[in-house]
Homo-oligomer: A and B are copies of this chain.
């Protein structure tokens, strides 16, 4: 019988990212701040563990899932290689130890917040810390979720998927760090608890196979927009950034509709948000707001700090929240202002009660971090999930 031994435990967090150029082979992402939205993962290894196990959001899940298995296999392979190369004084014993993995999201897993990308990125980052693997982790993260590598960086991130099946020629790189554009604010308008009807992976594959417009978008539209978007970010040109973001979101959803059978991610709440944003901008004769939608109905709004209070009042007016619901705005605090009658009339939409459950107020943030404080581990000193989960 094995004697009890204290596990080797590491906890990391990783951010959620929102794409502003969305095409299956070329993306530009904005990393959201982990003070508001993050995945936390603890990995422990111990010779006393009988098998690899995983708990997600408080519930044990199947560790034999192929994506999990390929992440684990790849990290162990890289660790073994390093150990053999003598490049690092890693206790080679630890390579044979089983792992316990515990992960939680501090945001709802409902449609559109790319929880699986953040989750896999955090898992890979944490495993790499545990097994002492450094370097190009996004290759491994891609084994888990095609888009996980985007969560390996902070700030503004460009990802170009290569041609090889193993992903070795894919390239993720930072366009600008999280400190680059401090006035930029991000508001997540959480629209609905409904699950999205089609998983985004199968959705994108069906689009590639059936949408004639997607092919044209890929070949003739996206390359130019990538360049323009990178320039807009580097110049901090909000109007250019916003127009490109909105046009690219619309075109992405247009190719979803051109998929056969068509895929719908935008619902009536999304359509109302889109109309509201365009009317708001038109009223001010200036592009002050941008929307973007991933594979779900939740709107992500980009704006500059000074416009946030009025915009939030506008949202609250046109999507009146439940009177006995929780707080309407979570995250970064927002000043209360009055909504002008002119703006209300210029928008002139019929209010859609309870269309938006709540708003998460956040900004651009850093990539994955190691948490040094052991009280933040999700696994106890015995290597098992803490009771509080």
Identify which of B220, B254, B259 contacts A255 (C-beta below 8 A). B254
Residues 37 to 78 of chain A near chain B (Cβ within 8 Å): none
**A195-220: contact bitstring with B at CB < 8 Å (1 yes, 0 no)?**
00100000000000000110011001
Interface hit among A148-156, A267-275, A337-345: A267-275
Say yes or no for A146: interface residue by CB 8 A criterion.
no
Docked complex Cα distance between A254 and B261 (Å): 13
Say yes or no for A381: interface residue by CB 8 A criterion.
no
Identify which of B250, B259, B260, B275 contacts A257 (C-beta below 8 A). B250
Q: Known contacts being A212-B251, A267-B268, is A246 close to B217, with CB within 8 Å? A: no
Tally A residues with Cβ within 8 Å of B: 27
Docked complex Cα distance between A41 and B136 (Å): 74
How would you classify the secondary structure of chain A's contact residues: helix, strand, loop or mixed? helix
Say yes or no for A264: interface residue by CB 8 A criterion.
yes
Say yes or no for A253: interface residue by CB 8 A criterion.
yes
Q: Which residue on B lies nearest to A262, using beta carbons?
A: B250
Docked complex Cα distance between A147 and B262 (Å): 27
Say yes or no for A310: interface residue by CB 8 A criterion.
no
Which residues does chain B contribute within 8 Å of A197, judged by CB atoms?
275
Say yes or no for A80: interface residue by CB 8 A criterion.
no
Docked complex Cα distance between A257 and B258 (Å): 10
Interface centre among A262, A267, A274 (most CB of B within 10 A): A262
Say yes or no for A283: interface residue by CB 8 A criterion.
no
A247 to chain B, nearest CB (A): 6
A-B contact pairs, 7 of them (CB 8 A): A212-B220, A213-B255, A250-B260, A250-B262, A251-B258, A262-B274, A264-B271
8 residue pairs, one from A and one from B, having the closest CB atoms: A254-B254, A216-B216, A254-B258, A261-B278, A254-B257, A213-B213, A250-B262, A264-B271
